[in-house]
């Protein structure tokens, strides 16, 4: 069986583990670090390779937290992921719904219906609505896999 669309997770580590087993495109990219840019964005086809603009970050702007010495202009995967989770399904910006085609939610239930980012837990209208309007496909202790259907 082949599935289409992107898996949205409320926990970057959980999304990475699902990818290791299933090889399915996911957000947030980068696992626990949830970087705004990552090679996965290219691998999953979220970025049009022919229109990329790559610039070098000035050496003085680099830090231990820098993910790369280069920047892809106009690419912001982490903000796109947060924007999807911060909206109810019908209010996700059309550009994001079309680009990422969210079809599934993988939920770490320790987030209490929210999502983990930068050591914090944020409320999520997307997840709240999923609980009331979507089909839970699979559940194990502390984790659920939901089919949310196409948004685009």
For position 2, what pLDDT does the model report?
A: 58
Percent of the chain with pLDDT over 90: 45
pLDDT of residue 37: 74
For residue 128, pLDDT over 80 is answered with yes
pLDDT recorded at residue 66 = 74
- Cβ–Cβ under 8 Å, residues 75 and 96: no
H-state helical runs in the chain: 12-22, 39-43, 77-85, 94-100, 125-133
The Cα 146–Cα 9 span in angstroms is 10
Residue 109 backbone class (left: φ over 0; alpha: ψ -120 to 50; beta: rest) = alpha
What is the three-class DSSP state of 103?
strand
- What pTM was estimated for this model as a whole? 0.84
Specify the pairing of strand 6-9 against strand 26-27. Answer: parallel
Closest to 74 in 3D by CA, of 59, 55, 100: 55
pLDDT (tens digit per residue) in 34-48: 566 777 777 777 877
Give yes or no for residue 72 having a pLDDT over 90: no
Note the pLDDT of residue 149.
86
* Polymer length in residues for the chain: 152
13 token code pair = 């580590």
| Predicted confidence band of residue 33 (pLDDT cuts 50, 70, 90) | low
pLDDT range class, residue 5, cuts 50, 70, 90: confident
């Amino acid at each position: 069986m082949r599935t289409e669309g992107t898996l949205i997770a409320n926990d970057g580590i959980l999304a990475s583990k699902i990818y290791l087993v299933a090889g399915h495109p996911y957000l947030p990219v980068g696992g626990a670090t949830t970087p705004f840019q990552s090679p996965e964005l290219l691998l999953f086809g979220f970025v049009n390779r022919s229109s990329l603009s790559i610039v070098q970050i000035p050496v003085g702007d680099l830090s231990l937290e820098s993910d790369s010495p280069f920047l892809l202009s106009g690419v912001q995967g982490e903000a796109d992921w947060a924007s999807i989770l911060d909206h109810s399904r019908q209010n996700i910006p059309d550009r994001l719904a079309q680009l990422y085609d969210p079809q599934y939610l993988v939920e770490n239930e320790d987030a209490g219906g929210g999502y983990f980012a930068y050591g914090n837990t944020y409320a999520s209208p997307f997840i709240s609505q999923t609980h009331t309007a979507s089909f839970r496909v699979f559940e194990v202790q502390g984790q659920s896999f939901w089919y949310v259907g196409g948004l685009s």
